Homo-oligomer: A and B are copies of this chain.
């Protein structure tokens, strides 16, 4: 029976790969990344296939080895317990207050940064567009249009050059929207430099450059990233970019606390970007949370709210009245007033949901191909800058040519485009094509939502959709900070309005047909099709329209767009995460993975340490092994390791498990020379504090920097007081879903696999779990469990 999936896929006792020892050097891909060959599990074909096709070209099937995991588990060793006992009630309350205070600061500063970006973009764009408009107006009569065009393109190119250079050479992680990086961070992956201060500075300058430079980008994604960096910075009270340490909030120097604050920062960023405090909280939860905690959520909400309020006050003050809080977010969709909808229109909305899903999937498909191309061929940093500048030049040129070649003249209205340009139109009219290109994407979207009926011809909207689609697909992934929300919204607004206009032609007498409304629904559909967010996106759109009327249609449209899009590929953020090979863990274990046992998942053999270990061996192990956690065992002789004594069904064990110790702890111990042979060892041990281990967080010196004399190599270290004695373990017969749930729910970095005698068999890390992925192919009606390569 072909449908009996995995019916003979019972775990074999000897089925253990010795990944750490054996050198698989048969495959090196273009990046020079050495890959371990995969084992493919085909749910249909009863068991292990030893000769699965290894598609070297498929970048999305490699898991990068460079990403480390964050550790949310508390090491409850004797030092920790002693530390806890020193804490008075007052200390606990003070910590609570500090948490609220920090969250408040995160909200306010994120709001300020968002305002800064907003004001800069507005002022610089104003300068740029008014200069070019004047130039164009002069040249239309003198037939010298090539001049303003060249100057437009040149201005864009220079601005984008600055932004891209900064980003490429100083903080490459600042490129793109930052949402994938934040998602990874909240998922528990250590993305290098993602929450550093220099990343923030580059992000802010870069996003101003990319928006002002006329690229098809928005500033919302980068704001979310900014909020996250602010959160990490404030909560840690120091910056390694500028080498200062305020010695504040030292207690919050752990992955767990940092993650909590970063959730708040991301929420504050969303809140500032869209004026959507509830949406911000939901975004943090949807993209990052694993364990919902009421108190934490409430604090995140606080940050989120303060961010909106800060932004609001600044925006109001700029409008002359600090107390008119009518401008909640940076990108407010504007007032839809009395526009309502007839439930029968839901049918059209559903169709738009399908279109959004399809267009979104197409967007992702093309962008994926492009990204794979970039990963493979555009390594050189100068090439990266050149590509960004090239896109800037092309964006400018194409926009200008489109305006030039296709002129949709409209009479001047009460509220025309921000910078109405006449071009070849008769006096008293302006070019509505130019109106779409000749302002920031954000303003264009708002105009599409609210401009009066008949502002745009059908062809104008169609042409704009096609041109902007191409530009947006190309732009996302350039080496410059760039948000994806606004381009998607604008794209959707354009074809949504086109859809509405077409309906008006079909139903000429329908009074309910407001094309601005269809622009809004189109925007939601396109956004849903691209980012595949669910409840948070719904709330963001509801809050940004400031109107609950469109709640239901937006929900329906987003639901349909996601369903349709999911048939073809993953959301754009997940796609980019997988293209980077980040070992991200999903919400649930892969489907049909319950036949995979811990013995297959685990890394084996394991490097273990004995409770009392020679200093020399520790140093050698730390130098030789890249691992960050080691099991501490007893009854184990490292010099006498028999590999399963030749009998295939006996897996080698590594002594009785006593606890785990982290590389960072060992390095601190070596640095402080806590050796049993030292005369002052007793005093030293009793003086060790939790802060000794926390001080170096998050960057511990590499083992190479620790000086150990040959004499000291023979000394002994007692690891027992420092190891985590009660860490979570898993039995060797546990299934992948069980290990997955333990990992996901508790945010672990590694878990030790033991047998029923409590003997160490192997280790499971995030990468071991992330290797397994279920491919659901609806066309073939099959689910295939799929093992990714892990590159070194």
Contacts and interface: CB of A to CB of B under 8 A. Distances in A.
Contact of A555 (B84, B277, B297): B277
A531 to B, nearest CB: 13
A768 interface: no
B733 A726 contact: yes
Contact of A757 (B289, B302, B656, B725): B656
A587 B757 contact: no
A552 interface: yes
A244 interface: no
Contacts of A9: 85
A588 B299 CA distance: 15
Given A74-B737, A286-B294, A746-B742, A89 B44 contact: yes
A756 interface: yes
A204 interface: no
Given A344-B323, A726-B735, A746-B742, A4 B286 contact: no
A542 B7 CA distance: 52
Interface in A614-667: 656-658
Given A591-B92, A783-B92, A85 B325 contact: no
Contact of A325 (B552, B594, B742): B552
A285 interface: yes
Interface string A718-760: 0000000110111101110110011011100000001011100
Nearest to A544: B548
A169 interface: no
B89 A5 contact: yes
Copies in the complex: 2
Contact of A290 (B291, B323, B742): B291
A504 B445 CA distance: 43
A292 B323 CA distance: 38
A684 to B, nearest CB: 20
Contacts of A556: 305
A506 interface: no
Which of A285, A295, A535, A738 has the most chain B CB atoms closer than 10 A to its own CB? A535
A74 B290 contact: no
A229 B234 CA distance: 46
A24 interface: no
A480 interface: no
A127 interface: no
Contacts of A89: 3, 5, 43-44, 592, 781-783
A539 interface: yes
A131 interface: no
A88 interface: yes
Contacts of A534: 294, 297-298, 301
Nearest to A727: B731
A286 B278 CA distance: 14
Contacts of A594: 76, 80-81, 84
Contacts of A309: 552
A754 B9 CA distance: 31
A546 interface: yes
A293 interface: yes
A290 B81 CA distance: 27
A738 B76 CA distance: 9
A552 B595 CA distance: 51
A297 B535 CA distance: 8
Contacts of A88: 3-5
Interface in A68-96: 74, 76, 80-81, 84-93
B725 A733 contact: yes
Contacts of A591: 92
B548 A735 contact: no
A244 to B, nearest CB: 31
Nearest to A300: B535
A371 interface: no
Contacts of A44: 89
A220 interface: no
Interface in A30-73: 43-44
Given A291-B745, A745-B291, A592 B658 contact: no
Contacts of A184: none
Interface string A266-293: 0000000000011001000110011111
A575 interface: no
A782 B89 CA distance: 6
A292 B292 contact: yes
Contact of A535 (B43, B278, B291, B548): B278
Given A539-B278, A546-B548, A552-B309, A725 B731 contact: yes
Contacts of A85: 4-7, 9, 595
A587 B745 CA distance: 13
A457 to B, nearest CB: 32
Interface in A518-576: 534-535, 538-539, 542-543, 546-549, 551-552, 555-556, 559
A308 interface: yes
Contacts of A710: none
A343 interface: yes
A342 interface: yes
A588 B301 contact: no
A323 B278 CA distance: 30
A298 B595 contact: no
A291 B534 CA distance: 17
Interface in A356-379: none
29 contacts: A3-B90, A6-B85, A76-B738, A80-B594, A84-B592, A84-B594, A85-B595, A89-B592, A89-B781, A90-B781, A93-B781, A277-B551, A278-B535, A278-B538, A285-B292, A291-B292, A291-B745, A292-B292, A294-B587, A298-B534, A301-B538, A305-B552, A325-B343, A543-B551, A547-B548, A728-B742, A742-B746, A756-B758, A757-B758
Interface of A: 3-7, 9-10, 43-44, 74, 76, 80-81, 84-93, 277-278, 281, 285-286, 289-295, 297-298, 301-302, 305, 308-309, 323-325, 342-344, 534-535, 538-539, 542-543, 546-549, 551-552, 555-556, 559, 587-588, 591-592, 594-595, 598, 656-658, 725-726, 728-731, 733-735, 737-738, 741-742, 744-746, 754, 756-758, 781-783
Given A85-B595, A757-B757, 8 more contacts: A7-B85, A43-B89, A84-B594, A278-B535, A294-B534, A295-B587, A305-B552, A745-B746
Question: Nearest 4 A-B pairs (CB), nearest first?
Answer: A3-B88, A726-B734, A745-B745, A758-B758
